[in-house]
Amino acid sequence: MSSIEPFTVSVSASELERLATKLSTASFPDELEESGWDYGSPLADVKRLTAYWKDQFDWRKVESKINELPNYRARIQAEGFEPLDIHFVHQKSNVVGAIPLLFCHGWPGNFLEVVKLLPLLARSGSGKSTPAFHIVAPSIPGFGFSEGTRKKGFGLAQYAETCHKLMQKLGYEKYVTQGGDWGCMITRTMGKLYPESCLASHINMPRGMKPSFSSNPILAIQHFLTPYSEKEKKGLGRTQWFLQEGSGYRNLQGTKPQTLGYALADSPVGLLAWIYEKLHDWTDDYEWTPEEVLTWVSIYWFSTAGVAAAQRIYYEATHPTPEGVHRTMTEQYIPHVKLGLAYFPMEITSLPRSWSRTLGPVVFESEHDKGGHFAATERPDAIADDLQKMFGKGGPAYEVVPGRSGYDFIAKL
């Protein structure tokens, strides 16, 4: 393939037939009475969605809609690994000086999380009163329609390298980022490894460490003197729930992803239940439609690298090579990169603000009264507003990318 080329999603007819066969012969477990969501995805919900997937869901219609997006593919090679064909959406603004923005998803998300942001940030006229952005949203390696490696050790450093090289290949020598979940950790790693290019990051899953007097004396004093707010107390309660009741998947995917992969690769119903539980538990009463749920699940089922590939990031991020990046490093101070933090009440981990401020030079913070883990899907208005305030005129990261303020004249396209 050439360096960068247009890309069209096209799932083979044989794959669609294989899915239909598996759905038609699916078997289901029993369920305890009045168990609700306590034990995981409810039987009635999974049966309802399976029937919809089998009888009503039209992948070709979804595929056609996806292909209306500006999809491309580029071959990127992380050092020490084979070249990978990386799929990405590249929505260029008609504002010449638009700000290059890498949008990075996580698990069980996908590149479609960016879709609701595109008309808010990238299209005609957005550079008149608010800054405009050139938006790049890849399927990260092993996810969606990007290839995955066949070698061990492809960890956060390599995900960051791939995304960085993609931005460079597109001509964006300097850029900003936005991410949640693994997107948060990947973009944080980009800031750690490429601070001369990744100049600012906005994240919607801020973590951090309790400030200590040895490493963060000012924050430690503030933490010592300032009681937690009611929102922070609720956030700690949410975090405790996640650690005790909602994080089992992380232990499985982070220790034996291959074993889990056999189940997910063989059973679309198993994959549906595995992902649907997270869509329910991690959001703030967001009303997922069957079409949305099954589109997300189908992207995993039809993924280029195979269903099992997406789980491996959990293992690699916690078993890095000696020169690699452990996920905990992304929760420590990273200098030089201006940082924006967005707090949503139903995020899976929500720590006191003084903890999150240990992550780096924080220049922007926002508190939102509604929203959860998939902020770009649940609250695209909030994410767009944050980015416009952070990078707009008068904002703390205004003109952070030299020559790309987001307000330059509009080109005729």
Per-residue pLDDT tens over the stretch 69-85: 999 999 999 999 999 99
Q: Is residue 124's pLDDT more than 60?
A: no
Which token pair is 398?
Answer: 């205004």
* Average pLDDT of the residues in 367-380: 98
Phi, psi of 124 (to 5 degrees): -50, 135
Residue 379 vs residues 9, 348, 394: alpha-carbon distances, Å:
27, 16, 24
Per-residue pLDDT tens over the stretch 197-248: 999 999 999 999 888 888 888 888 888 889 999 999 999 999 999 999 999 9
Residue 288 CB contacts under 8 Å (≥ 6 apart), including other chains? 279, 280
How many whole angstroms from its chain centre is CA 136? 13
Nearest residue to 246 (alpha-carbon basis) of 40, 72, 10, 62:
40
The whole model's pTM is what? 0.96
Which token pair is 400?
Answer: 């952070």
| Cβ proximity of 133 and 101 under 8 Å | yes
The catalytic residue positions are: 181, 314, 373
The alpha carbons of the chain give a radius of gyration, in whole angstroms, of 21
Residue 299 CB contacts under 8 Å (≥ 6 apart), including other chains? 110, 112, 144, 145
Q: Is residue 160's pLDDT more than 90?
A: yes
Which token pair is 171?
Answer: 């001509």
Higher-scoring residue by pLDDT: 323, 16: 16
Mean pLDDT of the chain: 95
Q: Is residue 381's pLDDT more than 90?
A: yes
Q: What is the pLDDT of residue 123?
A: 62
Q: Kindly give the pairing relationship between strand 133-138 and strand 99-104.
A: parallel
Going by pLDDT thresholds of 50, 70 and 90, the confidence category of residue 127 is: low
Q: What's the count of helices (H) and strands (E) in the chain, helices before strands?
A: 17, 9
| Cβ proximity of 90 and 135 under 8 Å | yes
Q: What is the pLDDT of residue 165?
A: 98
* Average pLDDT of the residues in 297-316: 98
Residue 284 CB contacts under 8 Å (≥ 6 apart), including other chains? 344, 345, 346, 370, 371, 372, 378
DSSP sequence for 384-396:
HHHHHHHHSTTST
Q: What is the pLDDT of residue 2?
A: 55
| Cβ proximity of 107 and 313 under 8 Å | yes
